Amino acid sequence: MNRLRHSGSRACAVLAVTLLLQQGCSVWRPYPLKPWAGLEKPPALPASYQGYYDYPRAEPAAALISEEIQGGCVRRQYELDLSLPPDLLPPDLEAQKKRVRDMETHDRKTASDMRLNFTNRIDVFSPVKMKPDEKKPVILISPILGGNMVVDHFARYYAGRGWIAVIVHRKRPYLTDGAQDLSGTERYLRTSVVRLRQVIDWLETRPEADLTRLGAFGISYGAILHSVLAAVEPRIRYHVIAMPGAPLPEVIMHCPDKGVSKLVRKAHEEFGWSHEKIQAQLQEHIRTDPIYLAPYVPGGRVEFYLAAFDRVVGARRSWKLWKAMGRPKLKILPFGHYGGILLLPVLQTQSYGAFKRAFRSEKLSVSPAA
Radius of gyration of the chain (CA): 21
Q: How confident is the model at residue 363 (pLDDT cuts 50, 70, 90)?
A: low
How many C-alpha atoms does 358 have within 13 Å on its Cβ side?
29
User: What fold is seen in the domain 53-360?
Assistant: Rossmann fold (3.40.50)
Q: What is the mean pLDDT of the chain?
A: 85
Q: What pLDDT is recorded for position 210?
A: 97
* pLDDT score of 26 more than 60: no
Q: Which pTM does this prediction carry?
A: 0.87
pLDDT tens, residue by residue, 338-350: 876 677 888 999 9
pLDDT tens, residue by residue, 43-75: 999 999 999 999 999 888 899 999 999 878 999
Q: What pLDDT is recorded for position 41?
A: 75
Residue of higher predicted confidence among 19 and 232: 232
Measured distance CA(165)–CA(70) in Å, rounded: 13
Measured distance CA(80)–CA(54) in Å, rounded: 17
pLDDT tens, residue by residue, 139-151: 999 988 766 578 9
* pLDDT score of 128 more than 70: yes
* pLDDT score of 211 more than 70: yes
Q: How confident is the model at residue 13 (pLDDT cuts 50, 70, 90)?
A: very low
Q: What pLDDT is recorded for position 11?
A: 41
Residue of higher predicted confidence among 32 and 106: 106
Q: What pLDDT is recorded for position 174?
A: 76
Furthest CA-CA distance within the chain: 71
Backbone angles phi, psi at 149, to 5 degrees: -65, -25
Structural domain boundaries of the chain? 53-360
Percent of the chain at pLDDT > 90 equals 59
Q: What pLDDT is recorded for position 10?
A: 42
* pLDDT score of 227 more than 90: yes
Q: What pLDDT is recorded for position 316?
A: 97
Instruction: State the burial class of residue 169 (Cβ atoms within 10 Å of its Cβ: 0-12, 13-18, 19+).
Output: buried
* pLDDT score of 15 more than 80: no
Residue of higher predicted confidence among 10 and 268: 268
Mean pLDDT of 156-184: 88
Q: How confident is the model at residue 129 (pLDDT cuts 50, 70, 90)?
A: confident
* pLDDT score of 360 more than 80: yes
Q: Which amino acid is at 123?
A: D
Q: How confident is the model at residue 297 (pLDDT cuts 50, 70, 90)?
A: very high
pLDDT tens, residue by residue, 87-99: 998 888 888 889 9
Among 34-43, 72-81, 204-213, name the one with the lowest average pLDDT. Answer: 34-43
Mean pLDDT of 185-205: 96
pLDDT tens, residue by residue, 308-352: 999 999 999 999 999 999 999 999 998 888 876 677 888 999 999
Q: What pLDDT is recorded for position 126?
A: 96
